[in-house]
Structure 1
Amino acid sequence: MLLPAILACLAALAAAFSNPLACSGTCTDTHDPSLIRRTSDGAYYRFATGGGIDIYSSPALTGPWTYQGEVLPSGSSIGNAGSDDAWAPDVHYLGSTYYLYYAVSTFGTQESVIGVATSATMAPGTWADHGSTGVQSVTGDDYNAIDPNLIVVGGVNYLTFGSFWGDIFQTTLASNDLTWSGGAPYNIELNTTSPQPSEGAYVYLSGAYYYLFFSSGSCCGYDTDMPAPGDEYKIMVCRSSKVNSGYVDEKGTACTKSGGTLVLGSHGVVYGPGGQGVYLDPTYGPVLYYHYVNTSIGYADADKLLGINKIDFSSGWPVV
């Protein structure tokens, strides 16, 4: 009797998730996406993991998306393995400049560095690579310096990052937005339930709470190594009234003690959603954006599509 009950529960969860909005143009090449709208003309820009970080633009959030070029056409100036294959960009408009944070690393190692590039317009050929922020990790550290995310609170630049090992950490950047403040990184999320690593953190303020979104589970290589059902990528959340500590899930379990409330999981043809961010769009309101594979198309990393869902915080917890 137990198996039918479990299947019914999974079916109910899947039914609760909305499908992503329609996407036109080039909606692949979108692992760990970052989205932003240019202030000068309202054009949307999208960046994602891989190579010199491809640039796509669109007149609307849902497309049509067209390829423009690369942020780092010659690779990162960071002298670390993986410099020609930058990961997990995170773009923000600060003052009159666009800042794009990225990671340089390789799979399965803690030899990782977080870098930053800047541009006045986000157009190809305008990006200046500033190299390492100084936030980095080596073998034996408590954390892995990848998947950066910036949030500015009270004039302080909080940089949230991490993957595997001790999961998600946070530190601060200096007021120039380019370099590490020197403050020791501290843990804000830890999942000890094997095999559920956490990564891809994104902190978003809505109302009285800071919401810590993160991806949990196996991210990649589904076409060659399919994870057990439920162990694939999914989007989780905890919240806190403070940006730098105290995150708990909907049941009150601390995020540092394997807490986390499911926001979006596999459903229908949507499989392995993750690598997410949140953007306050002038048309749709707050949206959750992420990558996923469509099971009717293919499971390869190159098949990953851009997913966008409207997100509702009215209950105090994000619902897509």
Structure 2
Amino acid sequence: MAAHSLLRTVLLALTLVVLSTAFSNPLPCTGECIDTHDPSLIRRTSDGTYFRFATGGGISIHTAPSITGPWKTAGEVLPSGSKINNPGADDAWAPDVHYVGGTYYLYYAVSTFGTQTSAIGVATSTSMDAGTWTDHGSTSVTSTTGDDYNAIDPNLIQVSGKNYLTFGSFWGDLYQTTLSSNLESWSQSTPYRIELNSTSPQPSEGAYVYHTGSYYYLFFSSGSCCGYDTSRPAPGDEYKIMVCRSTTVTGGYVDRNGQACTNSGGTLVLGSHGVVYGPGGQGVYDDIVEGSVLYYHYVDTNIGYADGDKVLGINKIDWSTGWPVV
């Protein structure tokens, strides 16, 4: 490992130790809160019902009267699997849900662990209820062996009439492109990199771009995400939530120290602390009750370390410093 990378790893580990006592615990979650990997949360406009979607199978649907529960099972988005002709079509990943013009758009990824044979798909519904989703298959944002990026973990943000899709994991980390006006297909705009962590072993994935005030904030998950029940990484190398910000949605994103996000930059937002281990797979939501919140999955060490043990976590965000603090 290069001296620069070693020094950064040591400094990050020390930072994690110092900050681990500063993080707030997640808000209480009631009902079915376990087996929630890479969650996406949204509140239905018609009746105020909260919906939670998560990685796995046909993308599970859970509903609740409030953002903290009690959550209950409500079916799947893709009970017959995705139309995308890729390995992993029956096990869709990383849903990202948005309400646009009376329709809910759910973006998802089809891939298998450790490969670049990946595609980003989209399904739509006017209610989000199970049985109402139409799968449109691939957006044509795809990747294959040898590409600069991996087409997984999609996230949509609309800015000035353009539909920006941020995605990626490993293989060059995080990229951005645009979708067509129909929100269902790629615009053919060449993807460009907006984040790269060149240290090891620190992959970046799970991008989520959020706008508030004068800045666009690029949240991402860094570190080892999975399989903690069989092999846990060195302390500090497990999943954690990082952020950079920019005055434009396309970049350049920098961390709190001014380090470019394309040059291994990133400010720690939430790491392991107490019984919370490996938080990641995050998003940001403006809740009518709790205000701005960071939602994510994590391992509760009192429950178990398996991927199926991942729990929904929600923390309120304080933006008073210009940076997200939970």
Structure 2 SS opposite 1:23: coil
Q: Deviations 1:136-189 (Å, cap 9, x if unpaired)?
A: 001000000000000000010000000001000000000000000000000000
CA distance in structure 1 between the partners assigned to 2:137 and 2:16 by the alignment: 44
Query: Superposition pairs for residues 168-317 of structure 1, below 5 Å?
Result: 168-317=174-323
Structure 1 SS opposite 2:20: helix
User: Segments of 4+ in structure 1 off by > 6 A?
Assistant: 5-8
Q: Which residue of 2 aligns with 1:113?
A: 119
CA distance in structure 2 between the partners assigned to 1:6 and 1:140 by the alignment: 31
One-letter amino acid matched to 2:61:
I
Q: Which residue of 1 aligns with 2:5?
A: none
Give the 3 Å change call, closer, same or farther, for CA 226–119 of structure 1 in structure 2.
same
From 151, 156, 172, the equivalent of 1:150 is: 156
Q: Which residue of 2 aligns with 1:48?
A: 54
Q: Which residue of 2 aligns with 1:141?
A: 147
One-letter amino acid matched to 1:216:
S
Q: Deviations 1:1-25 (Å, cap 9, x if unpaired)?
A: xxxx999864431111000000000
Q: Which residue of 2 aligns with 1:72?
A: 78
CA distance in structure 2 between the partners assigned to 1:6 and 1:248 by the alignment: 17
CA distance in structure 1 between the partners assigned to 2:87 and 2:254 by the alignment: 36
Query: Superposition pairs for residues 30-45 of structure 1, below 5 Å?
Result: 30-45=36-51
Deviation at 1:45, TM superposition (A): 0.1
Gaps of 5+ in 2: 1-10
From 86, 95, 98, the equivalent of 1:89 is: 95
CA distance in structure 2 between the partners assigned to 1:285 and 1:66 by the alignment: 23
CA distance in structure 1 between the partners assigned to 2:18 and 2:158 by the alignment: 38
Structure 1 SS opposite 2:79: coil
Q: Deviations 1:47-85 (Å, cap 9, x if unpaired)?
A: 000000010000001000000000000000000000000
CA distance in structure 1 between the partners assigned to 2:74 and 2:86 by the alignment: 26
TM-score by length of 2: 0.95
One-letter amino acid matched to 2:195:
E
CA distance in structure 2 between the partners assigned to 1:239 and 1:84 by the alignment: 35
CA distance in structure 2 between the partners assigned to 1:154 and 1:9 by the alignment: 38
C-alpha RMSD of the superposition: 1.2
Structure 1 SS opposite 2:21: helix
CA contact (8 A) 2:40 2:53 kept: yes
CA distance in structure 2 between the partners assigned to 1:312 and 1:6 by the alignment: 22
CA distance in structure 2 between the partners assigned to 1:6 and 1:167 by the alignment: 19
Q: Which residue of 1 aligns with 2:6?
A: none
CA distance in structure 1 between the partners assigned to 2:137 and 2:15 by the alignment: 47
CA distance in structure 2 between the partners assigned to 1:318 and 1:8 by the alignment: 20
Percentage identity across paired residues of the two chains: 75
Structure 2 SS opposite 1:16: coil
Structure 1 SS opposite 2:113: coil
CA distance in structure 1 between the partners assigned to 2:320 and 2:313 by the alignment: 22
Q: Deviations 1:184-235 (Å, cap 9, x if unpaired)?
A: 0000000000000000000000100000000000000000011010000000
One-letter amino acid matched to 1:59:
P
Gaps of 5+ in 1: none
Q: Deviations 1:222-270 (Å, cap 9, x if unpaired)?
A: 0001101000000000000000011000000000000000000000000
Structure 2 SS opposite 1:55: strand
CA contact (8 A) 2:276 2:300 kept: yes
Matched residue pairs, number? 316
Q: Which residue of 1 aligns with 2:4?
A: none
One-letter amino acid matched to 2:32:
T
